[in-house]
Amino acid sequence: MNLFRLIIIALAVWIAYRIWQNYRSKAKKMTSSSKSQKNIPDMVACYVCKMHIPENEALRKGKKVYCSQQHLDADNES
Ligand SMILES: [Zn+2]
């Protein structure tokens, strides 16, 4: 049973790798076009969880940025 599970995991990893490779080759084609540059927003780190989010989706309070309303509230409470 363990061996069978190992094969399934190996297969899943291989499929994921192939999908990732396919995605990368598509991404390469996209960056070669001039329009794609505008679609990449600046990334900012949430003050609470340090998760990186696009600047246009971030919540701001003073100089701090937050990924969500919950984290904005959490920082205010502490
Ligand atoms: Zn956060």
Structure confidence at residue 34 (pLDDT): 54
Structure confidence at residue 44 (pLDDT): 94
CA of 15 to the centre of ligand 1 (A): 31
pTM for the structure as a whole:
0.48
**Pairwise CA distance, residues 25 & 36, whole Å:** 15
CA of 5 to the centre of ligand 1 (A): 35
Can you list the residues of the chain whose pLDDT is less than 70?
Answer: 30-39, 78
CA of 48 to the centre of ligand 1 (A): 5
Question: What is the residue whose two structure tokens read 């990368």?
Answer: 24
Question: What is the residue whose two structure tokens read 């999908």?
Answer: 19
Does residue 63 sit in helix, strand or coil? coil
Structure confidence at residue 53 (pLDDT): 94
Ranges of each domain in the chain:
1-36, 41-78
| pLDDT single digits (tens) 10-19 | 999 999 999 9
| DSSP code for 68 | S
Structure confidence at residue 58 (pLDDT): 95
Structure confidence at residue 32 (pLDDT): 60
Structure confidence at residue 26 (pLDDT): 83
